[in-house]
Structure 1
Amino acid sequence: MFSSLFRGLHRAKCIACVGVVRFLSTQEVATALRPFYFIVHPDLFGQFPMERAVNEDSLKRLSEYVTSLQVSGRARPTELIFYVRQNSESAGQMKKVKVKLADKSLRQTVLSILGSCGLPVDYINNIPVSSAEASGKLLRSLQWHPSFYAATDRASPFQTPRANPQLMLRTWLQLNIGRSREKVDAIHHVQEDIIQLSAMLHDALNVQEIRWDSVWGITHFRGCLKSFYRLYAEHPRTISSILKGRRLIFSNKTGVSRLGEIVLSSEDVPTSWMRLLLSVGGYDSVLERLPFMEQKLSALLNGIGIIRQERSHSRVMAEDYELLLNKLLNSLRRCQDYVSKVFEDTDLSGFEMVVDGENAPMTLTSTGSFLIPASMPGTMVIDYIHTHKAEAYTVLRDIHSSLRKEAECVEKCALALELLEISKDENVTPQQMISCCERLTSEYWRLCVSLHQSRIQVSHYYSVMQDGKICIPWDWIGDDS
């Protein structure tokens, strides 16, 4: 009986899917989960053998789940338990976190893991979908004859999947607003310390700005400010003369950004910060060369404007930007005949281009700028700009009115719901933000009690962050939807 069954399956027709399944790259997944590993790593639980063993087992199962998604595009749903330290100041306090894994998308799996622990998800959201598709491993999934799925009891792609119930905004708020309030109360004293320390450093250093731009929570920001203030107390004159009139950013790297900001890594020790500060003068010559290189690049592309834009947690250092510009300059110099052929005498000065890292995708941003990786061949850059020129013109033509309307909608929404703050992720477009805020404002009578004095981040998912900020998808579902 079984031999005949398997002979039948062997003869079954194998149908190749038209669609292609792609995933985030291994490096992108590792980078996105790095903050998570730091709070659950077994080495942090040496004095707690039970919690250490649980985290070791859960990490192993998580690795198997992610590997299965990357290899086959599917994995058996599972629930993992991790023990997480509450914060750096309560070494003996731990929190038990349950992570439910049921997504077939690697991106959604990473978001679920980070969201369950209240960790920032800006990095993964700042990776465009096209980047994840372009850098992932390419697989072609196979669909067998229906008799194969009937015989093996596996889920058949020929069957219509059962629709998941849609989560409404008010329902989610009822389940999570209490957790948000608890987190806000728990870190209130931390925020007060940050305000006080920032004000003291502002007055002492006479800097333009002190900002936090790291994947870590604000408790780490307070730690950085305390450490830096102690460093300043040891070298007041030296540090004041270096930072006067500058912008000081605590981020994930140490260096001088292409915007001239002094960037200090939250993971470095103060001695490393001091070494950078003492060498800041050496970066001035690099910063002075950058405008001339941008002018040369603009001239090679019929006067297109070259602008510098930084994304959250992804600052480009000045010396790295110089290398990126030089690489793209060399590539475009070799195809000037092709520029003349494609653009002829067309003036591109009304368009904008951002030179990005070598692993980024070519794309058109929501503000109408061309995002061009330095690793792209010159001919591909030319073709892309030529193909998307009309689309970019439309976005640039409407962007100022869109941004103005977005600001008005944000202000009205904040007033109607009495919010402390409403902001958005970088990958949320002005049109999406406008739609979200207009709907929130129209539903104020239903939502004002739940959201009173809350801080809202408009994104593509639901989450409660470490500081109590509430993330909601821009296309949230209302009671009347």
Structure 2
Amino acid sequence: MVTNTPYSQEVLQQLPSFLRLQQEVKELTERIGLLLGGASLLEAEPLGPVQPITEHYNVLTTFLRMVQSPPLRLHPRSLQGLRVVLDSDRSACSLHHMGHFIIPTTFDPSTLQGFLQSHAPEARLRTHRHKQVQVEEDSLVQDCVETLSLGGLSRDSTVSLVQMISCCRRLMELRPLLGLLDLQDLHLCVSHFYSVTQDGVLCVPWDWRA
């Protein structure tokens, strides 16, 4: 049963505006992606309330005007398969270790095209490597869950893929010993410290010591 409170009424009143803005943001994102050689434009953070999505809409609108005048001369599919994140806290373009471009929301259009074109090969290489590491992590997590009869195995957002892989490998090396313990239905979360959550999830540091 939904309680009819002033807050819920306000949320319902804002819903049409949010849905309209959400559609306009989607269309802007697609237009910008085409101008950026077919790259996918990612959101730095999930969009929720109307105010944040309004701010994001304004950022996209300003960014679109900047890449349109003068327009970037990129082949429509030259950056297809690559990703771009807009970051208002950055002052210069950079390439993330996972392979996506990080572009400041205010930039010099004359330098953007050269940066994207010159770093595209490295971006594809890093993206490919990241996907390979993701596949390896998924495989190791599944092996750990099945071999140790865990209820689940996850990692904190602050733990990297490489750190998670290292932790899983060590868990597998100790499976003869861990197999003697009753780990049935235990959910393990790889983090940076030891703790137990209210839900009963056991957190262990990725570089734990036996």
Query: Structure 2 unaligned runs (5+)?
Result: none
> Given the superposition, is the C-alpha separation of residues 303 and 444 from structure 1 closer, same or farther in structure 2, using an over 3 Å criterion?
same
| Aligned equivalent of 2:157 | 426
Residue 10 of structure 2 corresponds to: 275
Structure-2 residue corresponding to 1:412: 143
From 32, 39, 54, give the equivalent of 1:319.
54
> 1:457 Cα deviation (Å)?
2.3
Seq. identity, %: 21
Query: Does 1:470 pair with 2:202?
Result: yes
Letter of the aligned partner of 1:302 in structure 2?
G
**TM-score, normalised via structure 2 length:** 0.75
For residue 411 of structure 1, report the CA deviation from its aligned partner. Answer: 1.2
1:457 corresponds to 2:189: yes
Cα distance in 2 for partners of 1:473, 1:403 equals: 20
SS at match of 1:404: helix
Cα 1:466–1:384 shift into 2, 3 Å? farther
Q: CA 1:363–1:425 in 2, change beyond 3 Å: closer, same or farther?
A: farther
Unaligned runs of 5+ in 1: 1-228, 236-269
Matches within 5 A, 1:227-238: 229=1, 232=2, 234-235=3-4
For 2:146 and 2:162, the matched residues in 1 are separated by 20
Q: Which residue of 1 aligns with 2:86?
A: 355
The superposition leaves residues 241-296 of structure 1 with CA deviations (integer Å, 9 ceiling, x where unpaired) of xxxxxxxxxxxxxxxxxxxxxxxxxxxxx532330123201222212212321232
> What TM-score results when the alignment is normalised by the length of structure 1?
0.37
Give the letter aligned to residue 36 of structure 2: L
AA in 1 matched with 2:89:
N
Deviations 1:367-414 (A, max 9, x none): 533243424444554455345422320133344443333222111112
> Partners in 2 of 1:380 and 1:472 — Cα distance?
45
CA–CA separation in structure 1 for the residues paired with 2:111 and 2:205: 34
Distance 2:162 2:138 in 1: 11
Note closer, same or farther for the CA distance 1:346–1:411 as it changes in structure 2 (3 Å cut).
Answer: closer
| In 2: Cα distance, 1:404 partner to 1:386 partner | 28
Does the 8 Å CA contact 1:359/1:375 hold for their aligned counterparts? no
Question: May I ask how many residue pairs the two structures share in their alignment?
Answer: 205
Aligned to 2:26: 291
Q: How does 1:12-27 map to 2 (within 5 A)?
A: none
Does structure 2 conserve the Cα–Cα contact (< 8 Å) formed by 1:366 and 1:429?
A: no
Could you tell me how far 1:325 is from its partner in structure 2?
0.8
User: Whose radius of gyration is greater, 1 or 2?
Assistant: 1
User: Residues 391-402 of structure 1 correspond to what in structure 2 (within 5 A)?
Assistant: 391-402=122-133
CA distance in 1: counterparts of 2:45 and 2:196, whole angstroms? 23
- In the superposition, relative to structure 1, how do residues 284 and 344 fare at CA in structure 2: closer, same or farther (>3 Å)? closer
C-alpha distance 363-439 of structure 1, shift in aligned 2 (>3 A): farther
Aligned twin of 2:65: 330
Cα RMSD of the aligned pairs, angstroms, is 3.4
Q: 2:67–2:109: 8 Å Cα contact kept in structure 1?
A: yes
Report the Cα offset of residue 322 of structure 1. 0.8
Q: Distance in 2 between matches of 1:376 and 1:289?
A: 23
The 3 A distance-change label for structure 1 pair 456 and 327 is farther
